[in-house]
Amino acid sequence: MIRPILGVLGLLAGSTLTAQDFPVEPSRPVSEPVEQSAARSTPRPPPSTVAKTPAAVVAPTMDAVAVTPVPVLAEGAETTPLSLLGQSVRPGTRAELRWASGQSFDGAVVTTPVIVVHGPTVGPRICLTAAVHGDELNGIEIIRRLMNELDPAAMSGTVIGVPIVNFLGYARGSRYLPDRRDLNRSFPGSTTGSAASRIAHSFFNEVATNCQALVDFHTGSFDRKNLPQVRGDLRIPAVLEFSRGFGATAVLHSPGARGMLRRAAVEAGIPAITFEVGSPMRLEPAEIDLAVQALHTLLHKMGMTRSFRMWAEPQALFYSAKWVRSDAGGMLFSEVNLGDRVRVGQRLGKVVDPVQNSERAIVSPVQGKLIGMALNQIVLPGFATYHIGVQTDEQQLIEAAENAPENADAAAASGDESADIEDGDTTPIEAPRDDEDIER
């Protein structure tokens, strides 16, 4: 049994709104958000009398790592100026700082914006990052829009937003750095390694370690699209509790591969998750709107803002996941849409071989919901085409992960997702491989 988890990251004990755990369908905002007027707003919860971050982050495969707790201060206590990147941000203000993200081939220093909204009263300090892969655009707009909507004078705590971490990749329209290295396999980095390792070290130590929680935005990779979903190592109580704060957003267990920003953050004692939203090289308004709403929900639940936008559905379902692969090469044509519920044996699409003038159907081996899929394209045999989420009980999912940590770690070490568990059974579902939509 999982012991009840006391507040995490400023998830305040006195909150008037608690996490709701199980939605029926993917989240959809209601047509009219609750306004911040007295008649329609939900009051900001009072500060808790307990530390706002857990005393430790513990996983079966990690040593206990101390997490610095938020100081316990009196209600409404004023905060102090924030020191970041060699500058000071006064309470109740917004500032745009610059982080030197690397050098171009001509030796010019490349900088990228770091936006800080620092409230006048104490509260959690949360970091939002995007474009660690330079071709993943949705997260850039999500962070930009959220930071513009926050009122520093009416907020508790601090939000630090970095819309474009991998500026060198973003400027080239590439997920990778110019040397073809993956920045999201380089954290926490070093001062003497490759260019990717040095950039990762700089960002991790100058920005990420100043956070008490971290949300890293990604999209599907290699012409795949993801239903909005939160991924984290749910064996860790602090991460599990953090994952509940995003409203009606699907939650998947995934330890993450070594070198990922969010895994490095967790190993440094900072609860962190990946928020997958949509597909690469595209800006998708519906997915962006949903993610912005999820962030507003998180900030309200952490006691940082007064505004709260209602969800049409309760809190997310927890999923195990199954990748379905093509057994033939050719042109992929899908017959289902992202978010569809599918049954065992249902035809999901077909692969057409134009040389042999033949077709081969792809059918679902499980019943569940389509949480990720490849866009229509040319595929090779073995290509991961459909990602099916199998609804499971939160407790069963966590217990399964804890009972077989070696499977999860082996998958993570090889750069794959965790060996997920199908519908509470103890038989691991096949994990994605290196060509699939992991948080690459």
* Residue-wise pLDDT tens digits, 101-142: 888 887 889 999 999 999 999 999 999 999 999 999 999 999
Burial pattern 379-399, b for ≥16 Cβ within 10 A else e, equals beeebbbbbbbbbbebebbbb
Residue 275: predicted pLDDT? 97
Whether the predicted pLDDT of 364 surpasses 70: yes
Is 215 a member of any domain?
Answer: yes
Whether the predicted pLDDT of 371 surpasses 70: yes
What CATH number did the domain enclosing 358 receive?
2.40.50.100
Residue 318: predicted pLDDT? 73
Whether the predicted pLDDT of 171 surpasses 60: yes
| Position 403 confidence tier, pLDDT thresholds 50, 70, 90 | low
Name the more confident of 10 and 55: 10
Instruction: Identify the top-confidence range among 16-20, 183-187, 404-408.
Output: 183-187
Query: Which range, of 29-33, 69-73, 275-279, averages the lowest pLDDT?
Result: 69-73
**Shared domain check, 365 and 270:** no
**Shared domain check, 289 and 368:** no
**Alpha carbon of 389 to those of 81, 115, 186, 315: distances in Å?**
44, 35, 29, 16
Q: What is the rounded CA–CA span in Å between residue 229 and residue 237?
A: 19
| Position 92 confidence tier, pLDDT thresholds 50, 70, 90 | very high
CA atoms within 13 A on the CB side of 191: 2
Residue pair 380/329 in contact (Cβ under 8 Å)? The answer is yes
Is 294 a member of any domain?
Answer: yes
Query: Which range, of 11-15, 287-291, 335-339, averages the lowest pLDDT?
Result: 11-15
Residue 164: predicted pLDDT? 98
Is 19 a member of any domain?
Answer: no
**Shared domain check, 398 and 333:** yes
Q: What is the rounded CA–CA span in Å between residue 371 and residue 323?
A: 10
**Shared domain check, 209 and 326:** no
pLDDT in tens, 29-69: 444 443 344 344 444 444 433 333 333 333 334 444 444 43
Q: What is the rounded CA–CA span in Å between residue 141 and residue 290?
A: 12
Average pLDDT for the chain: 78
CA atoms within 13 A on the CB side of 298: 29
**Which uninterrupted H or E stretch holds 300?**
helix 285-301
**Shared domain check, 197 and 103:** yes
Q: What is the rounded CA–CA span in Å between residue 49 and residue 55?
A: 14
**Shared domain check, 363 and 294:** no
Name the residue range of residue 356's domain: 319-413
Six-digit token string for 155? 């907020």
**Alpha carbon of 248 to those of 18, 142, 205, 245, 337: distances in Å?**
13, 17, 33, 9, 20
What CATH number did the domain enclosing 154 receive?
3.40.630.10
**Shared domain check, 405 and 271:** no
CA atoms within 13 A on the CB side of 120: 6
Is 399 a member of any domain?
Answer: yes
Is 160 a member of any domain?
Answer: yes
**Shared domain check, 208 and 278:** yes
Residue 107: predicted pLDDT? 81
**Shared domain check, 181 and 260:** yes
**Shared domain check, 332 and 208:** no
Tell me which of 301, 336, 365 is where a domain ends. Answer: 301
What total number of domains does the chain contain?
A: 2
Is 257 a member of any domain?
Answer: yes
Is 349 a member of any domain?
Answer: yes
Is 7 a member of any domain?
Answer: no
Six-digit token string for 355? 């040389």
Q: What is the rounded CA–CA span in Å between residue 307 and residue 277?
A: 23
User: How far from chain centre, in Å, is Cα 34?
Assistant: 25
**Shared domain check, 344 and 272:** no
Q: Any idea what the Cα angle at residue 389 is, between residues 388 and 394, rounded to 5°?
A: 165
Name the more confident of 130 and 23: 130
- Across 186-208, average pLDDT: 96
**Shared domain check, 330 and 291:** no
pLDDT in tens, 281-324: 999 999 999 999 999 999 998 999 987 666 666 565 677 888 99
Residue 315: predicted pLDDT? 60
